[in-house]
Protein backbone atom coordinates (compact mmCIF):
# COMPACT_ATOMS: atom_id res chain seq x y z
CA UNK A 1 0.00 0.00 0.00
CA UNK A 2 2.82 2.37 0.81
CA UNK A 3 5.31 1.35 -1.90
CA UNK A 4 4.84 4.61 -3.75
CA UNK A 5 4.79 6.76 -0.66
CA UNK A 6 8.40 7.86 -0.30
CA UNK A 7 8.08 8.38 3.45
CA UNK A 8 10.44 5.56 4.26
CA UNK A 9 12.69 4.89 1.31
CA UNK A 10 14.03 1.36 1.15
CA UNK A 11 17.17 0.56 3.10
CA UNK A 12 19.87 -0.18 0.57
CA UNK A 13 23.06 0.51 2.49
CA UNK A 14 24.64 -0.68 5.70
CA UNK A 15 24.23 2.83 7.09
CA UNK A 16 20.52 2.97 6.34
CA UNK A 17 19.44 0.60 9.12
CA UNK A 18 21.65 2.40 11.64
CA UNK A 19 20.26 5.82 10.74
CA UNK A 20 16.70 4.52 10.84
CA UNK A 21 17.20 2.84 14.23
CA UNK A 22 18.21 6.16 15.78
CA UNK A 23 15.45 7.99 13.97
CA UNK A 24 12.77 5.57 15.16
CA UNK A 25 14.13 5.74 18.69
CA UNK A 26 13.79 9.54 18.64
CA UNK A 27 10.30 9.31 17.19
CA UNK A 28 9.29 6.71 19.78
CA UNK A 29 10.57 8.78 22.72
CA UNK A 30 8.91 11.93 21.38
CA UNK A 31 5.61 10.15 20.68
CA UNK A 32 5.62 8.49 24.10
CA UNK A 33 6.03 11.79 25.95
CA UNK A 34 3.68 13.71 23.66
CA UNK A 35 0.92 11.16 24.25
CA UNK A 36 1.68 10.90 27.98
CA UNK A 37 1.47 14.66 28.43
CA UNK A 38 -1.67 15.01 26.33
CA UNK A 39 -3.35 12.24 28.32
CA UNK A 40 -2.36 13.75 31.63
CA UNK A 41 -3.69 17.14 30.58
CA UNK A 42 -7.04 15.52 29.83
CA UNK A 43 -7.13 13.29 32.93
CA UNK A 44 -6.13 16.05 35.32
CA UNK A 45 -8.56 18.50 33.76
CA UNK A 46 -11.37 16.12 34.60
CA UNK A 47 -10.03 14.84 37.91
CA UNK A 48 -9.12 18.19 39.46
CA UNK A 49 -11.81 20.43 38.02
CA UNK A 50 -13.47 22.86 40.44
CA UNK A 51 -16.58 21.29 41.89
CA UNK A 52 -17.92 24.14 44.01
CA UNK A 53 -17.70 27.89 43.45
CA UNK A 54 -15.72 28.41 46.67
CA UNK A 55 -13.43 25.40 46.35
CA UNK A 56 -9.72 26.18 46.85
CA UNK A 57 -6.94 23.78 45.84
CA UNK A 58 -4.39 22.34 48.28
CA UNK A 59 -1.10 24.22 48.50
CA UNK A 60 1.80 22.08 47.21
CA UNK A 61 5.26 22.76 48.63
CA UNK A 62 7.42 20.70 46.32
CA UNK A 63 8.84 17.23 46.54
CA UNK A 64 12.55 16.41 46.31
CA UNK A 65 12.05 12.80 45.16
CA UNK A 66 9.70 13.98 42.41
CA UNK A 67 12.14 16.69 41.31
CA UNK A 68 14.99 14.18 41.18
CA UNK A 69 12.85 11.72 39.28
CA UNK A 70 11.93 14.10 36.50
CA UNK A 71 15.39 15.56 36.29
CA UNK A 72 17.38 12.37 36.04
CA UNK A 73 15.07 10.27 33.88
CA UNK A 74 15.01 12.84 31.04
CA UNK A 75 18.74 13.44 31.53
CA UNK A 76 19.37 9.74 31.05
CA UNK A 77 17.19 9.60 27.95
CA UNK A 78 18.81 12.65 26.36
CA UNK A 79 22.27 11.28 27.13
CA UNK A 80 21.36 8.11 25.27
CA UNK A 81 20.28 10.27 22.32
CA UNK A 82 23.49 12.28 22.49
CA UNK A 83 25.93 9.39 22.76
CA UNK A 84 24.12 7.32 20.16
CA UNK A 85 23.82 10.30 17.79
CA UNK A 86 27.46 11.33 18.22
CA UNK A 87 28.65 7.76 17.69
CA UNK A 88 26.61 7.45 14.52
CA UNK A 89 27.75 10.85 13.28
CA UNK A 90 31.43 9.91 13.67
CA UNK A 91 30.78 6.61 12.01
CA UNK A 92 29.00 8.24 9.06
CA UNK A 93 31.60 10.95 8.53
CA UNK A 94 34.71 8.78 8.58
CA UNK A 95 35.23 6.49 5.64
CA UNK A 96 37.04 3.29 6.52
CA UNK A 97 40.57 2.88 5.20
CA UNK A 98 40.68 1.13 1.87
CA UNK A 99 37.33 2.46 0.72
CA UNK A 100 36.96 2.66 -3.04
CA UNK A 101 37.34 6.30 -4.04
CA UNK A 102 35.20 8.03 -6.62
CA UNK A 103 35.39 11.68 -7.62
CA UNK A 104 32.17 13.63 -7.98
CA UNK A 105 31.81 17.17 -9.31
CA UNK A 106 28.55 19.05 -9.08
CA UNK A 107 27.81 21.51 -11.85
CA UNK A 108 24.70 23.42 -12.87
CA UNK A 109 22.82 21.08 -13.42
CA UNK A 110 24.43 17.70 -13.41
CA UNK A 111 26.64 15.34 -11.45
CA UNK A 112 29.89 14.35 -13.08
CA UNK A 113 31.47 11.19 -11.77
CA UNK A 114 34.97 9.94 -12.40
CA UNK A 115 36.24 6.56 -11.25
CA UNK A 116 39.84 5.87 -10.38
CA UNK A 117 40.48 4.04 -13.61
CA UNK A 118 39.04 6.85 -15.70
CA UNK A 119 35.49 5.62 -16.26
CA UNK A 120 33.22 8.62 -16.40
CA UNK A 121 29.54 8.97 -15.90
CA UNK A 122 27.02 11.77 -15.82
CA UNK A 123 24.11 11.61 -13.42
CA UNK A 124 24.94 7.95 -12.93
CA UNK A 125 27.08 6.25 -10.34
CA UNK A 126 27.85 2.55 -10.51
CA UNK A 127 29.07 0.90 -7.32
CA UNK A 128 29.59 -2.67 -6.17
CA UNK A 129 27.57 -3.93 -3.22
CA UNK A 130 29.38 -4.90 -0.04
CA UNK A 131 32.29 -2.53 -0.50
CA UNK A 132 32.73 0.85 1.18
CA UNK A 133 32.70 3.63 -1.41
CA UNK A 134 34.06 7.05 -0.60
CA UNK A 135 32.96 10.01 -2.69
CA UNK A 136 35.32 12.97 -2.89
CA UNK A 137 33.15 15.83 -3.97
CA UNK A 138 33.65 19.34 -5.29
CA UNK A 139 31.59 21.93 -7.11
CA UNK A 140 32.30 23.69 -10.37
CA UNK A 141 29.99 26.63 -9.61
CA UNK A 142 27.49 26.96 -6.77
CA UNK A 143 26.51 24.95 -3.74
CA UNK A 144 24.85 21.61 -4.42
CA UNK A 145 24.07 18.71 -2.17
CA UNK A 146 24.39 15.02 -2.94
CA UNK A 147 21.64 12.93 -1.41
CA UNK A 148 20.93 9.23 -1.82
CA UNK A 149 17.79 8.64 0.24
CA UNK A 150 17.97 4.83 0.02
CA UNK A 151 21.46 4.95 1.51
CA UNK A 152 20.57 7.63 4.11
CA UNK A 153 23.64 9.67 3.22
CA UNK A 154 23.78 13.30 2.18
CA UNK A 155 26.52 15.91 1.98
CA UNK A 156 26.74 19.44 0.68
CA UNK A 157 29.04 20.06 -2.27
CA UNK A 158 30.56 23.45 -1.80
CA UNK A 159 32.59 25.53 -4.26
CA UNK A 160 36.14 26.03 -3.07
CA UNK A 161 36.42 22.99 -0.84
CA UNK A 162 36.08 19.26 -0.78
CA UNK A 163 33.60 17.20 1.05
CA UNK A 164 33.61 13.48 1.41
CA UNK A 165 30.90 11.00 2.13
CA UNK A 166 30.84 7.22 2.18
CA UNK A 167 28.46 4.31 2.13
CA UNK A 168 28.40 0.57 1.64
CA UNK A 169 25.54 -0.46 -0.60
CA UNK A 170 24.08 -3.81 0.42
CA UNK A 171 21.22 -4.43 -1.99
CA UNK A 172 21.63 -4.42 -5.77
CA UNK A 173 19.30 -1.99 -7.47
CA UNK A 174 18.87 1.51 -8.81
CA UNK A 175 18.41 4.34 -6.38
CA UNK A 176 17.73 8.03 -6.76
CA UNK A 177 20.31 10.77 -6.35
CA UNK A 178 18.86 14.18 -5.58
CA UNK A 179 20.44 17.61 -5.34
CA UNK A 180 19.08 19.08 -2.14
CA UNK A 181 20.45 22.61 -2.26
CA UNK A 182 18.57 25.03 -4.45
CA UNK A 183 21.18 25.71 -7.13
CA UNK A 184 19.40 27.57 -9.91
CA UNK A 185 16.72 27.22 -12.57
CA UNK A 186 17.05 23.52 -13.23
CA UNK A 187 17.79 22.46 -9.68
CA UNK A 188 14.78 20.18 -9.69
CA UNK A 189 16.13 18.37 -12.74
CA UNK A 190 19.48 17.68 -11.11
CA UNK A 191 18.61 14.08 -10.55
CA UNK A 192 20.68 10.97 -11.03
CA UNK A 193 20.84 7.29 -10.28
CA UNK A 194 23.10 5.08 -8.27
CA UNK A 195 23.31 1.56 -9.60
CA UNK A 196 24.46 -0.93 -7.01
CA UNK A 197 25.69 -4.09 -8.66
CA UNK A 198 26.88 -7.52 -7.58
CA UNK A 199 30.71 -7.54 -7.67
CA UNK A 200 30.86 -9.72 -10.79
CA UNK A 201 28.47 -7.52 -12.74
CA UNK A 202 30.30 -4.49 -11.50
CA UNK A 203 33.63 -5.83 -12.80
CA UNK A 204 32.03 -6.42 -16.18
CA UNK A 205 30.67 -2.89 -16.20
CA UNK A 206 34.06 -1.49 -15.27
CA UNK A 207 35.90 -3.31 -18.02
CA UNK A 208 33.24 -2.55 -20.61
CA UNK A 209 33.45 1.23 -20.47
CA UNK A 210 35.57 3.67 -22.38
CA UNK A 211 38.19 4.53 -19.83
CA UNK A 212 40.48 7.34 -20.89
CA UNK A 213 43.09 7.14 -18.18
CA UNK A 214 42.14 7.60 -14.54
CA UNK A 215 42.38 10.80 -12.55
CA UNK A 216 45.87 9.76 -11.47
CA UNK A 217 47.02 9.35 -15.04
CA UNK A 218 45.30 12.50 -16.22
CA UNK A 219 46.80 14.30 -13.24
CA UNK A 220 50.27 13.03 -14.14
CA UNK A 221 49.79 14.32 -17.65
CA UNK A 222 48.59 17.72 -16.40
CA UNK A 223 51.59 17.82 -14.10
CA UNK A 224 53.74 17.76 -17.25
CA UNK A 225 51.53 19.96 -19.40
CA UNK A 226 51.34 22.70 -16.78
CA UNK A 227 55.09 22.40 -16.16
CA UNK A 228 54.65 21.63 -12.48
CA UNK A 229 57.45 19.11 -12.97
CA UNK A 230 59.96 21.83 -13.81
CA UNK A 231 59.86 23.10 -10.24
CA UNK A 232 58.78 19.93 -8.44
CA UNK A 233 61.50 17.53 -9.42
CA UNK A 234 61.72 14.09 -7.94
CA UNK A 235 65.37 14.38 -6.98
CA UNK A 236 64.85 17.62 -5.05
CA UNK A 237 66.92 19.73 -7.45
CA UNK A 238 63.90 21.86 -8.48
CA UNK A 239 62.86 25.17 -7.00
CA UNK A 240 59.82 23.65 -5.30
CA UNK A 241 59.47 20.91 -2.70
CA UNK A 242 59.56 17.26 -3.64
CA UNK A 243 55.95 16.06 -3.73
CA UNK A 244 56.69 12.35 -3.44
CA UNK A 245 55.47 11.02 -0.09
CA UNK A 246 54.08 14.46 0.83
CA UNK A 247 50.39 13.59 1.11
CA UNK A 248 49.28 12.82 4.63
CA UNK A 249 52.54 14.16 6.11
CA UNK A 250 52.96 17.29 8.16
CA UNK A 251 54.74 20.21 6.56
CA UNK A 252 56.33 23.20 8.21
CA UNK A 253 55.09 26.55 6.90
CA UNK A 254 57.12 29.73 6.73
CA UNK A 255 54.69 31.21 9.27
CA UNK A 256 55.95 28.65 11.78
CA UNK A 257 52.74 26.62 11.73
CA UNK A 258 52.62 23.01 10.71
CA UNK A 259 49.84 21.60 8.60
CA UNK A 260 48.87 18.11 7.52
CA UNK A 261 48.77 17.76 3.76
CA UNK A 262 45.24 16.84 2.73
CA UNK A 263 43.10 17.47 -0.34
CA UNK A 264 42.28 21.01 0.78
CA UNK A 265 45.93 21.92 1.26
CA UNK A 266 47.00 20.63 -2.14
CA UNK A 267 44.08 22.42 -3.73
CA UNK A 268 45.03 25.67 -2.05
CA UNK A 269 48.66 25.19 -3.02
CA UNK A 270 47.60 25.04 -6.66
CA UNK A 271 45.01 27.83 -6.69
CA UNK A 272 46.44 30.16 -4.06
CA UNK A 273 50.05 29.13 -3.46
CA UNK A 274 50.89 32.25 -1.46
CA UNK A 275 48.32 31.50 1.23
CA UNK A 276 50.54 28.88 2.89
CA UNK A 277 54.17 28.82 1.89
CA UNK A 278 56.28 25.79 2.73
CA UNK A 279 59.16 26.68 5.03
CA UNK A 280 62.53 26.99 3.30
CA UNK A 281 61.05 27.91 -0.08
CA UNK A 282 60.48 31.16 -1.90
CA UNK A 283 56.84 32.06 -2.66
CA UNK A 284 57.46 31.79 -6.38
CA UNK A 285 54.87 29.24 -7.33
CA UNK A 286 52.41 30.88 -9.76
CA UNK A 287 48.70 30.51 -9.20
CA UNK A 288 46.83 28.18 -11.50
CA UNK A 289 43.50 29.80 -10.72
CA UNK A 290 41.54 30.10 -13.95
CA UNK A 291 43.96 27.85 -15.81
CA UNK A 292 42.64 24.60 -14.47
CA UNK A 293 39.07 23.44 -14.08
CA UNK A 294 37.74 22.03 -10.85
CA UNK A 295 38.01 18.61 -12.36
CA UNK A 296 41.62 19.11 -13.35
CA UNK A 297 42.41 20.21 -9.81
CA UNK A 298 40.89 16.94 -8.63
CA UNK A 299 43.09 15.06 -11.07
CA UNK A 300 46.20 16.87 -9.88
CA UNK A 301 45.24 16.05 -6.32
CA UNK A 302 44.72 12.41 -7.23
CA UNK A 303 48.18 12.41 -8.79
CA UNK A 304 49.82 14.05 -5.76
CA UNK A 305 48.06 11.49 -3.55
CA UNK A 306 49.28 8.63 -5.70
CA UNK A 307 52.86 9.79 -5.09
CA UNK A 308 52.27 8.77 -1.47
CA UNK A 309 50.52 5.54 -2.37
CA UNK A 310 47.15 7.03 -1.43
CA UNK A 311 43.85 6.48 -3.15
CA UNK A 312 42.55 3.12 -4.24
CA UNK A 313 40.80 1.79 -7.27
CA UNK A 314 38.52 -1.18 -7.52
CA UNK A 315 40.36 -4.49 -7.48
CA UNK A 316 41.48 -5.99 -10.73
CA UNK A 317 41.09 -2.88 -12.83
CA UNK A 318 43.86 -1.34 -14.82
CA UNK A 319 43.92 2.07 -16.36
CA UNK A 320 44.58 2.39 -20.02
CA UNK A 321 45.81 5.46 -21.83
CA UNK A 322 44.30 4.59 -25.18
CA UNK A 323 40.65 5.63 -25.35
CA UNK A 324 38.64 2.58 -26.32
CA UNK A 325 35.23 2.89 -27.93
CA UNK A 326 32.60 3.50 -25.30
CA UNK A 327 30.48 0.51 -24.36
CA UNK A 328 26.80 0.59 -25.11
CA UNK A 329 25.83 1.02 -21.47
CA UNK A 330 27.88 4.18 -21.11
CA UNK A 331 26.26 7.58 -20.92
CA UNK A 332 27.42 10.01 -23.60
CA UNK A 333 30.90 11.31 -22.91
CA UNK A 334 31.05 14.97 -21.94
CA UNK A 335 32.84 17.39 -24.26
CA UNK A 336 36.54 16.88 -23.65
CA UNK A 337 39.09 19.66 -23.29
CA UNK A 338 42.76 19.27 -23.87
CA UNK A 339 43.18 16.88 -20.98
CA UNK A 340 40.09 16.09 -19.05
CA UNK A 341 36.73 17.66 -19.41
CA UNK A 342 35.77 21.12 -18.35
Tell me whether residue 109 or residue 247 sits nearer to Cu ion (CB atom): 109
Q: Decide: is 284 part of the binding site for ligand HEC (CB under 6 A).
A: yes
Radius of gyration of the chain (CA): 27
Q: Decide: is 133 part of the binding site for ligand HEC (CB under 6 A).
A: no
- For residue 139, what are the β-bridge partners? 106
Site stretch for ligand HEC (CB under 6 A), options 67-75, 85-93, 201-209, 220-228? 220-228
C-alpha pair distances (Å), 280 with each of 253, 255, 260 = 8, 11, 17
Site stretch for ligand HEC (CB under 6 A), options 76-84, 156-164, 193-201, 222-230? 222-230
- Cα 310 to its chain centre, rounded Å, is 18
DSSP E strand boundaries for the chain:
100-107, 110-115, 120-122, 124-128, 132-139, 144-148, 153-157, 163-168, 173-179, 191-197, 250-252, 258-260
Site stretch for ligand HEC (CB under 6 A), options 46-54, 157-165, 193-201, 227-235? 227-235
Site stretch for ligand HEC (CB under 6 A), options 70-78, 173-181, 223-231, 320-328? 223-231
- The per-residue DSSP string of 86-142 comes to HHHHHHHHSPPTTPEEEEEEEETTEEEEEETTS-EEESEEEEETTSEEEEEEEESSS
- Cα 257 to its chain centre, rounded Å, is 28
Tell me whether residue 30 or residue 282 sits nearer to ligand HEC (CB atom): 282
Task: Look at the alpha carbons of 179, 89, 267, 333 in this order and tell me if their dihedral is positive or negative.
Answer: negative
Task: Pick one of ligand HEC, Cu ion, none as the site partner of residue 240 (Cβ within 5 to 8 A by kind).
Answer: ligand HEC
Q: Decide: is 197 part of the binding site for Cu ion (CB under 5 A).
A: no
Q: Decide: is 79 part of the binding site for ligand HEC (CB under 6 A).
A: no
Tell me the C-alpha distance between 242 and 307, whole Å: 10
Site string for ligand HEC, 297-316 (x = CB under 6 A): ---x---x------------
**111 closest CA partner among 164, 190, 34:** 190
Task: Pick one of Cu ion, ligand HEC, none as the site partner of residue 323 (Cβ within 5 to 8 A by kind).
Answer: none
Q: Give the orientation angle of helix 14-47 with respect to helix 64-93, to 10 degrees.
A: 160
Task: Look at the alpha carbons of 147, 126, 110, 321 in this order and tell me if their dihedral is positive or negative.
Answer: positive
Least CB distance to ligand HEC at residue 291 (A): 8
Q: Decide: is 179 part of the binding site for Cu ion (CB under 5 A).
A: yes
Tell me the C-alpha distance between 29 and 123, whole Å: 39
Q: Which of 183, 197, 246, 301 binds Cu ion (CB under 5 A)?
A: 183
Least CB distance to ligand HEC at residue 235 (A): 15
Residues 165-184 that bind ligand HEC (CB under 6 A): none
Q: Which of 273, 302, 305, 340 binds ligand HEC (CB under 6 A)?
A: 273
Residue ranges in contact with ligand HEC by CB under 6 A: 226-228, 230-232, 239-241, 243, 246, 251, 266, 269-270, 273, 277-278, 281-286, 288, 300, 304
Amino acid sequence: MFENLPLFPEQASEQAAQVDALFFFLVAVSAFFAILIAMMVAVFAVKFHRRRQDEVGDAIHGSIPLELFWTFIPLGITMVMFVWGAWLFFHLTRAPKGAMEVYVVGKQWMWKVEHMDGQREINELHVPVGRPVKLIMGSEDVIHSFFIPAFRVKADVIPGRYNTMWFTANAPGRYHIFCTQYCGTKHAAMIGWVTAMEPAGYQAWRSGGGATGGPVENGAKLFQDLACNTCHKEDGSGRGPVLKGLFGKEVQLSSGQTITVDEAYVRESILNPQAKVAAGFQPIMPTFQGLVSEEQVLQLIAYVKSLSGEGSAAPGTSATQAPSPAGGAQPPAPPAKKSGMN
